[in-house]
Structure 1
Amino acid sequence: MTQDTLNLIRPDDWHIHFRDGDMLKTVVPATASVFRRAIVMPNLVPPVTTAAAARAYRQRILDACPPGSNFQPLMTAYLTETLDPDDLAAGHAAGDLTAVKLYPAGATTNSDAGVRDIRKVDATLKRMAEIGMPLLVHGEVTDPAIDIFDREAVFIERVLKPLMDRLPDLKIVLEHITTRQAVDYVATAGDHLAATITPHHMEINRTDIFRGGIRPHLYCLPIAKREEHRQAVR
């Protein structure tokens, strides 16, 4: 190992979708063979909205692990406007819930039950800030008037910045960022905001989606952006 190389023998995956049923049984063994821990996304149908549902989902994941595996799934709750803050706090204290995931309603897969008005969940977010429970954010607006390539940047201005002003002690992770605006904001917003980046958003730009014809396997949400943004997230 050279001075500029770090070998991760058992890395952690901080954003994974196991789904459920046959898909879960297929994906979990592959993940458990490489990773020690993973943050498990809660956007099932129906979504994981209680500590009890998270415990049950965690058990299904553990049941799908190979014999002798020490893989540790870290569970999240799906934020809705009717989520019970007391249940969240109890689940967090018991180790059943690591974080809460914010999906703006309609932003991505299985997000129809997500949040339509962020102010309606302020009480829940305030409780999370008090107990140190992180909020994981899919940072895109769903206003149909906003171009799909601008939804992350607009989310930062319309939703994230006002939220951090209201609740400066809330720990937030802006997930799978794709824009220069996100990089710049996370770099300057202080210790309570972090971000994750996917490998593919560091490797492709929006032109690649159409290079030589439409390439559907390069489509994802958030969608890849211009080359200047790819360079920024690298």
Structure 2
Amino acid sequence: MSSTITSLTIIRPDDWHLHLRDGAVLASVVGDTARQFGRAIIMPNLKPPVTTVALAAAYRDRILAAQEKAGIPQRDFTPLMTLYLTDNTSVQDIEQAAKSGFVHGVKLYPAGATTNSDAGVTDLLGRCSLVLEAMQKAGLPLLVHGEVTDPDIDLFDREAVFVDRVMIPLRRAFPELKVVFEHLTTSEGVQYVRYAEGPVAATLTAHHLLYNRNALFAGGLQPHWYCLPVLKREKHRQALLDAATSGNNRFFLGTDSAPHPRGLKEAACGCAGCYTALHAMELYATAFASVDRLDRLEGFASRHGPAFYGLPENTGTLTLERADFKIPAELPMAGSTVVPLAAGQSLQWKVASTGA
């Protein structure tokens, strides 16, 4: 039983949804991810967004340069790049991406859904059908931020409505398109991904597995727990945790770690995003241990994602041990600080080592 496990060694995991930002912030945070993960799908919502293969190549070069400066060998961590889908993305953009060897997906941000999504898609099937057809033909996955942005829809219902309004028509129109429903947050989303026809998968964050929306208001408004999609009711958290620990290979790890300077979180209009790159595997281990399913962590963290993306599993390992891990109150970041999720609290698992 997981409750008796004191040490766990798994294939080195990957992060299939990560925000690294750019410039000095990138330089500050890339080491936290590279310490644990062999690869990561890098989100393209910069300013300006990463909309072409040329921009993705330039961003990749900046990430690799930041790695080198941080003393992280390229063999230890590989950034997997994505393009930002817009109403103006072309079939040629998709064809170039598929041939590039380093672009592994195209990200759908419904316009206005989250951080830096202003350039997002306004009508997926109406404006992007030729692009989606090209992606289906090339086997290039569509990575979706699964929320509608209609102001008449309650914030907590945006994902469930997205399933009906977008996912079902999308699958009907493009049944062989590979789709990742990213940072899933609801029981409705879990049900959809479990039973949808065609190549569909979902990433799950540690914070949505561990916390419900009460965390936003415990002892006052808690801006460092605010993310999009927002934390949901306890019944949804339980559904997500059951999916993550079920062994179903449609569900895999994606932190959605999103660094913001402390001052931009603790503001009248605070930014959305939780910083979890520092302690991602400690958080996931805590979630799996909570339901006595640590034996299924390797599949979720290290096997299911590569299988979906058509990539080999990593050859290295990561070892977790049952030991007290105190989450720091804040970390230096680009001349400011970033507050990690659950700052000041303690976890009962920590990363002990990584190996070749």
TM-score w.r.t. the length of structure 1 is: 0.95
- Aligned counterpart, 2:118: 112
Q: Kindly provide the CA deviation profile for residues 134-182 of structure 1, in whole angstroms up to 9, marking residues without a partner as x.
A: 0000000000000100000001111111111111010000001000000
Pairwise CA distance, 1:63:
0.5
Could you tell me which of 175, 180, 191 is aligned with 1:184? Answer: 191
Contact 2:175 2:198 (C-alpha < 8 Å) held by counterparts: no
SS at match of 1:124: helix
Contact 1:137 1:172 (C-alpha < 8 Å) held by counterparts: yes
Structure 2 gap ranges (5+): 242-356
- Aligned counterpart, 2:163: 156
CA–CA distance in structure 2, aligned partners of residues 202 and 56 of structure 1: 34
Deviates more, 1:31-40 or 1:220-229: 31-40
Bigger RCO of structures 1 and 2 (CA < 8 A, at least 6 apart): 2
CA–CA distance in structure 1, aligned partners of residues 87 and 218 of structure 2: 41
> 5 Å matches for 1:48-67?
48-65=50-67, 66-67=71-72
- Aligned counterpart, 2:254: none
> 5 Å matches for 1:1-234?
7-65=9-67, 66-70=71-75, 71-119=77-125, 120-234=127-241
SS at match of 1:7: strand
Counterpart residue identity of residue 116, structure 1: T
CA–CA distance in structure 2, aligned partners of residues 159 and 9 of structure 1: 35
CA–CA distance in structure 2, aligned partners of residues 131 and 6 of structure 1: 38
CA–CA distance in structure 2, aligned partners of residues 68 and 198 of structure 1: 26
SS at match of 2:9: coil
Pairwise CA distance, 1:20:
0.4
What is the total number of aligned residue pairs between the two structures? 234
SS at match of 1:195: strand
SS at match of 1:8: strand
CA–CA distance in structure 1, aligned partners of residues 132 and 227 of structure 2: 28
Pairwise CA distance, 1:209:
1.2
TM-score w.r.t. the length of structure 2 is: 0.63
Deviates more, 1:59-68 or 1:107-116: 59-68
Contact 1:32 1:69 (C-alpha < 8 Å) held by counterparts: no
CA–CA distance in structure 1, aligned partners of residues 131 and 156 of structure 2: 30
Contact 2:97 2:103 (C-alpha < 8 Å) held by counterparts: yes
CA–CA distance in structure 2, aligned partners of residues 143 and 94 of structure 1: 35
- Aligned counterpart, 2:284: none
* Bigger Rg, structure 1 or 2: 2
SS at match of 2:128: helix
Q: Which runs of 4+ in 1 moved over 3 A?
A: 1-6
Provide the aligned C-alpha RMSD in A. 1.8
Contact 1:39 1:75 (C-alpha < 8 Å) held by counterparts: yes
Identity of aligned residues (%): 56
CA–CA distance in structure 2, aligned partners of residues 67 and 228 of structure 1: 40
Distance 1:6 1:186, change over 3 A: farther
Q: Kindly provide the CA deviation profile for residues 11-65 of structure 1, in whole angstroms up to 9, marking residues without a partner as x.
A: 1111111110100111112222221111000000000000000000000000011
